[in-house]
Amino acid sequence: MKWKEYVVENYLQEKGGKYELLKPAIREKIYRELTSNDESKILNASKILIGLDNLNFTQKEISDIEKKCENLPKSKSSSMRDYRQDVNAGIMLIKHFDDGAKCKCGVYEKWIQFPPEREVEIGYLSIQKEPYTNLEKYQIEYDLKCMICKTEWQANQNDGYHYPIYEWVKKGANIV
């Protein structure tokens, strides 16, 4: 299933709805969940949010979210990674857009969960050529270009963990 369709149908539960029209409703739900004190809702909202574009959170929403999320307790379940990292990444993205960013190039290197296809679908990046499976490095390599600021990226998908992680490297920078 396509990512935007997934967000509309599974997260928002609006079958057949249009993502662009439902963005305010998506923002509302994410806001409610991030301020809910419910760990699984907070984590889920953070994972949805990180893959989207600018939802235009208001100043009040941003400060409520920050207050609610700044001292979250450690998870009681033994998850693969600390859910608070996902929450921090989500808040980083909200603030990135609040600072006036027009694309997401400023955040790709700062978090391990930016699947390239979602960034392409959401409209920020284009795929420059077929993804390459690098057998020596056990990774899939994507060549991408930002439609907004024209930055060129190589994103490496590594499946060697319990879940895929992504390393983003600017083209022209040293690729190790």
Nearer to Zn ion, 17 or 115 (CB): 115
**CB of residue 148 vs Zn ion: minimum separation in angstroms?**
5
DSSP assignment string, 28-61: HHHHHHHTS--HHHHHHHHHHHTTS------HHH
Contacts of Zn ion in 104-143 (CB under 5 A): 105
Nearer to Zn ion, 24 or 123 (CB): 123
**CB of residue 132 vs Zn ion: minimum separation in angstroms?**
22
Q: Using the CB atoms, write b or e for 17-50: b if 16+ within 10 Å.
A: bebeebbeebbebbbebbbeeebebbbbbbbbbb
Nearer to Zn ion, 11 or 97 (CB): 97
Cβ neighbours of residue 113 closer than 8 Å, sequence gap 6 or more: 47, 50, 86, 89, 165, 166
Nearer to Zn ion, 149 or 175 (CB): 149
Of these, 8, 49, 146, 155, which contacts Zn ion (CB under 5 A)?
146
The answer to whether residue 147 forms part of the interface with Zn ion (CB under 5 A) is no
Element containing residue 71 per DSSP (H, E): none
Give me the residues that bind Zn ion (CB under 5 A), please: 103, 105, 146, 148-149, 151
